[in-house]
Amino acid sequence: MTIDKQALREAAEKAGKDKWQAKKINGDFYVIRSGSYIKQCGITSFQPIAEIDHKPVRDFVAMVNPATTLALLDENLQLQREKDAIEAVALALRDDMRQAREQLEAAERSIAEQSAIVAAAEKLVRCKGRYHSELNYRALAKLFGVITPDLPPLEDENVHYTDAAEVEISALRQRIQDLEAREVTLPPTFWYEHDDLSRDVPVLDKRLVKKAIRAAGIGVKGE
């Protein structure tokens, strides 16, 4: 049904801004102007809408029929559904943006951590000809999990550690490659055929999972 909303608005404005009410008077039902019912000294007075001799009101009453009212309600319902759908999409987009922002922050932290490691390695390369202190040398090697050999005494300023530095740099690079290439191969999953609640849920053997993690050189806590 097509509703001429502009014509309906104009008819409502011409009819005035009165509020109406349904009321039973002397055994009959009337639609009257709200607040017009007065009963005093045995005399009852009111202003009925259906009987009022006012053409704009009659036109408006004729226009506001059940079909028009239902059509307006259906249209409002459709608009509300569209609004709800738009809000749902907006919420989903907001969640996606939040997840993307969290992933970006995690990536930036990872880059910062890797940059710190690279900077430490580059510093070691620049200082490979001579170490200023054995303590700093061992602390840097410990960061990469490398066991350092004993170094010659540092009192002799003419002592150079080029060969030892090359060995340690090579070990550090290999350590980084090993950490990046380390993988965990999970055992195959299985199902409980006799358990209705778990029949469709894949299961991993906890012991085999721990074994696979250890095989990759990773420690398991909370055993």
Is 99 contained in some domain? yes
CA distance linking residue 62 with residue 80, whole number of Å:
28
Residue 24's pLDDT is 78
Q: Which residue did the predictor score with more confidence, 49 or 129? A: 49
What pLDDT band is residue 168 in, cutting at 50, 70 and 90? low
Which of 40-49, 75-84, 109-118, 190-199 is most confident? 75-84
Examine the fold and report which residue of 26, 48, 63 is the final residue of a domain before the chain moves on.
63
Same structural domain for residues 137 and 167?
Answer: yes
Is 122 contained in some domain? no
Nearest CA-CA partner of 165 in 210, 208, 130, 209: 130
Which uninterrupted H or E stretch holds 40? strand 38-40
Question: What is the rounded average pLDDT of the residues 140-166?
Answer: 54
Residue with tokens 């999972």: 209
CA distance linking residue 49 with residue 39, whole number of Å:
18
Full residue range of the structural domain in which residue 157 is found: 127-181
Residue 105 burial class via C-beta count within 10 angstroms: exposed 0-12, middle 13-18, buried 19 and up: exposed
What pLDDT band is residue 133 in, cutting at 50, 70 and 90? low
Is 147 contained in some domain? yes
CA distance linking residue 151 with residue 142, whole number of Å:
15
Asked whether residue 29 carries a pLDDT value surpassing 60, the answer given is yes
Residue 131's pLDDT is 47
Residue 100's pLDDT is 81
Is 117 contained in some domain? no
Nearest CA-CA partner of 1 in 68, 59, 64: 68
Q: Which residue did the predictor score with more confidence, 151 or 166? A: 166
Nearest CA-CA partner of 187 in 208, 214, 206: 208
Question: For the chain, how many structural domains are there in total?
Answer: 4
Residue type (1 letter), 26:
N
Is 121 contained in some domain? no
Is 76 contained in some domain? yes
At 77-129, the pLDDT tens digits run 788 888 888 888 888 888 888 888 888 888 888 888 777 777 776 666 555 54
Residue 196's pLDDT is 55
* pLDDT, mean over the chain: 70
Is 91 contained in some domain? yes
Which of 27-36, 99-108, 146-155 is most confident? 99-108
Is 116 contained in some domain? no
pTM of the predicted protein model: 0.33
Structure tokens at 67: 């079909």
